[in-house]
Structure 1
Amino acid sequence: MALTRQATEHGHTVADDDVSKRLLESAATLSFDPMTEIDWDAPLPEEHYGLNPEWSTLYGTRLWDGMTEQQRVTLTRHEVCSIMNTGIWFEMILQQMVLRDQYLKNPANAEFQFALTEIADECRHSIMFARACQKMGVPAYRPNKVIAQAGRAFKALAKGELAYGGILVAEEVLDVMQRDWMRGENVLEIVRGTSRIHVVEESRHMKFARQEIRERMRHAGPARRRTSATGIAIGAYVIVSSMVHPGVYKAAGLDVARALAEVKENEHRKAMMRNSSRHLMAFLAEAGLLTSRSAAVYRRVHML
């Protein structure tokens, strides 16, 4: 009876609250201030990449083989900053969705308190990414107008598992990439450092998103599962297809049309994307959010 009284409209339970309490404890003991953890004044070695070459969209192509080393360094720095700017864009969407989800909920609940903790983390992450790109001298790459408007609609309308599913997609894919970047000996220290901070703190955010999705889907019927699965997949398509701006190829002195054509056919890139999405796909399947229709969308961006 007590459990029923403590349940919210989306099925929140005492066990769910325990997850949020553990995440709050983790945040209290293992959080970072990027302004002091990162040496923002350290010089950037000219030969160091922005990300591991294997994560470049052109790695493994004939175009990559014909590029100078300086072009490769420039390309990877612009690629990582494009991904960081996509991260800033989506973190701003994320913050608004989480705030809306927690509006007028009980501030004494651990779920409420961790949600605000996550928003505070995301604010620091966005500033951290912005400063890193500024340090690298890379311009702010933004999504095109259509994608930007789609983002406005998503943050205004998405709720429940759709909102947290979108959050999880963005965090899971970037997490796999950054775990490699932070270990890359030939990667800029500013990228390795920001990646370490993001990986540690985002691990909590991903646990929170998974738990929120489990709650919302606990009593969901087949129709809701199908609709939500498709909505999350469309969100994933938008996020993944927007990560690397076409302008990065121009910045490296490449023919943009040729670069985009080679990226489209790059089997190495496709394999890397499937690998980075493996755990995400397993979770969505477990939650009943991987349907034949959503799988078709994921395949279009090589997440399956």
Structure 2
Amino acid sequence: MPAYRVMSQNLRYDTSGVNALEIRGPRLSWLLDKYRPDTIGFQEATPQWMGWLRGNLAGYIGVGVGRDNGRDKGEFSPVFYRADRFSLKDGGTFWLSETPDRVSGPAWSAACTRICTWALLEDKQAGLFLHMNTHTDHVSVEASCRGASLILSRLAALREKYGPIPAVVTGDFNGEEHSSVYAVMTDPASPVADSKYLAARQVNACGSFHNFLKVDVSKHTPIDYCFVTPDTLDVRSYEVVTENPGGGYVSDHYAIFALLEAKQAGLAPGGQI
């Protein structure tokens, strides 16, 4: 059965000084060279980061738009995928708001405008694979929970349209495992489950937000996740990636990496096995 190497990485917006993008970017390249993800969900990808990603991630294509104008302004929550393995069948960005299909400002008392980007990919050998990626609000619990519910609703609609395709939802949800947003994502009625608890093997099952080592991650659970559809995907391994290439860090968040295996080949474009 086809395997998928999936990663989620909050980049931290471009800063100056010792944690400038120009310093952290090569560390990200090193990390991706080591883990070789098939698809990646990034958060806090500013226009400056997007320029760097598109110029330096050879072999990957990115999907997504800026949250402020639906084009090039504001942070992106892009999905990048391997061009040698996948082609883009469908995709887009929606806003976590009452008007998801048009550019919206902060909703439900959120501190920031929030979006979700999705890419329906056609594996050139194994059918369809869906990757959704988001960054929910860090202030408003209502916004994060309603945003999560909207994402699950859109996921269900896409699977109704295309069939029971293997799917992942990655992102920075700004909530640990005791949070309300995590409860929404892992509700028994949810189509997804936390890859951490489905994994045959866990590596570094600690927190993911380290704030450049100002937080003791051993005392926390992640706020970054890779949720998967358990009816179509098994999880071989799950890892909080605590690498520090060159003695430094890619971001103030560790990446999440999951090695997944489809329970059967994904649906073909026509919806047939």
Which TM class, normalised by the smaller chain length? under 0.3
Q: Which one has the bigger strand percentage?
A: 2
Q: Which one has the bigger helix percentage?
A: 1
TM-score, normalised with respect to structure 2:
0.27
Whose RCO is larger (CA < 8 A, sep 6+)?
A: 1
Q: Which structure has the larger Rg?
A: 1
TM-score, normalised with respect to structure 1:
0.25
